[in-house]
Structure 1
Amino acid sequence: MRNIAVISDTHGTVPDRLLTHLSEADEIWHLGDVTRPDILIPIQNLGRPLIVVNGNCDPRGTWPETRQLEREGCTFHLQHRPPPIAIPSNDAILFGHLHRPIDETMDGIRILNPGAITGPRHGSASSFAWLRFPEPGKWTWKVTAL
């Protein structure tokens, strides 16, 4: 089973307890607001593929604004800010920015937010999510508190 750790809004901080979780990932997706690219070094040192999109607090042009990724026959759109509308031909849209976990459906497409590593809001805890693929064409999403 492939395990992808999805994180967002680290805002210059990568807690050791997050690195412990990330060490179990096959791949890591960061949904923006890294703020300082050097804080990704401990994550990169884990030796897992790391995909990042630019957030509103990141230096402009450091990473792509969006990414379209296919894994195990499923398509995911990554961006930092919440989508104003569902983007067709995706199984899910993953975003950060709001600092709280979200799992909703818009026009038949899952809209997912893993929450924030730094500065959770609306009573949520610091969190990230696991995107898992138990079999090709099937995936699950689980938010995990730090």
Structure 2
Amino acid sequence: MTTIGLISDTHGRLPEEAFAAMADVDHIIHAGDIGGPDILRTLEALAPTTAVLGNNDFDEYGDRVRRFAHPVIDGVRFLVAHYPRDVKIGFNGSAALSAGDPIPQVCVHGHTHVPEILTGPEARPALYVVCPGAPFRPRGGFPKCTGRMVVENGRVLSVRIESLDGQTLMEVGA
């Protein structure tokens, strides 16, 4: 079993509560607008971190951070991009996928600063589309938040969005 911390839109600020929310995870996914290499180094000190560039990021992270990422974590295929439109997969595919790429089970995006967990027809052909919200300048009336996912042997066991004070805002599959 692997616990994945989901975070996005830190914009160079990692509140202590967001750091604490990531402290016990096995892997971290940052969906862009990192805001500087220091944030990435701090997260990488906690757990292996997959990150993508956001519209406020510059190519200051080297080859390891690009526009899209396709990690496979505990057998679960992910697509990570900053923009929601880049993780939506239509009949013509997606800018984030090449011909022949396997369909991701989980798509993670940022940019909106609004948390969401989509499943079913809204997420298809993926099983889940997740935005962890933002620990900095949240929008849509939501509090500052991060996400957490538990996966095992190619299956998603649960997806949760939590406020930085630990309140569960959304949850699927608990």
| TM-score between both structures, scaled by the size of structure 1 | 0.89
Match of 2:112? 98
- One-letter code aligned to 2:13: T
Report SS of the residue matched to 1:20: helix
The structure whose residues are more often helix, as a share, is 2
Match of 2:131? 113
Residue 129 (structure 1) aligned to one of 140, 143, 147: 147
Report SS of the residue matched to 1:76: strand
Match of 1:138? 155
Task: Count the aligned residue pairs.
Answer: 144
C-alpha offsets along residues 110-139 of structure 1, whole Å, 9 cap, x if unaligned?
211010111100101111111102x31221
Q: What is the aligned-residue identity percentage?
A: 29
Give the structure with higher Rg (CA).
2
Report SS of the residue matched to 1:93: strand
Structure 2 CA distance for aligned equivalents of residues 60 and 40 of structure 1:
13
- One-letter code aligned to 2:27: E
TM-align CA RMSD: 1.7
| TM-score between both structures, scaled by the size of structure 2 | 0.76
Structure 1 CA distance for aligned equivalents of residues 108 and 80 of structure 2:
5
Report SS of the residue matched to 2:71: strand
Match of 2:45? 45
Runs of 4+ in 1 over 4 A off after TM superposition: none
Task: Check the 8 A contact 1:76/1:91 in 2, yes or no.
Answer: yes
Structure 1 residues 39 and 107 mapped into 2: Cα distance closer, same or farther (>3 Å)? Answer: closer
The structure whose residues are more often strand, as a share, is 1
Unaligned runs of 5+ in 1: none
Which deviates more from structure 2 when the two are superposed, residues 52-61 or residues 90-99? 52-61
Structure 1 CA distance for aligned equivalents of residues 42 and 66 of structure 2:
21
Structure 2 CA distance for aligned equivalents of residues 116 and 27 of structure 1:
18
C-alpha offsets along residues 34-90 of structure 1, whole Å, 9 cap, x if unaligned?
1221233332332x1111100000014632100111122221100000125325611
Structure 2 CA distance for aligned equivalents of residues 75 and 9 of structure 1:
22
Which deviates more from structure 2 when the two are superposed, residues 27-36 or residues 78-87? 78-87
Unaligned runs of 5+ in 2: 95-101, 165-174
Structure 1 CA distance for aligned equivalents of residues 114 and 75 of structure 2:
28
Report SS of the residue matched to 2:142: coil
Match of 2:77? 75
Say whether residues 1:57 and 2:71 are aligned partners.
no
Task: Check the 8 A contact 1:54/1:61 in 2, yes or no.
Answer: no
- One-letter code aligned to 1:101: P
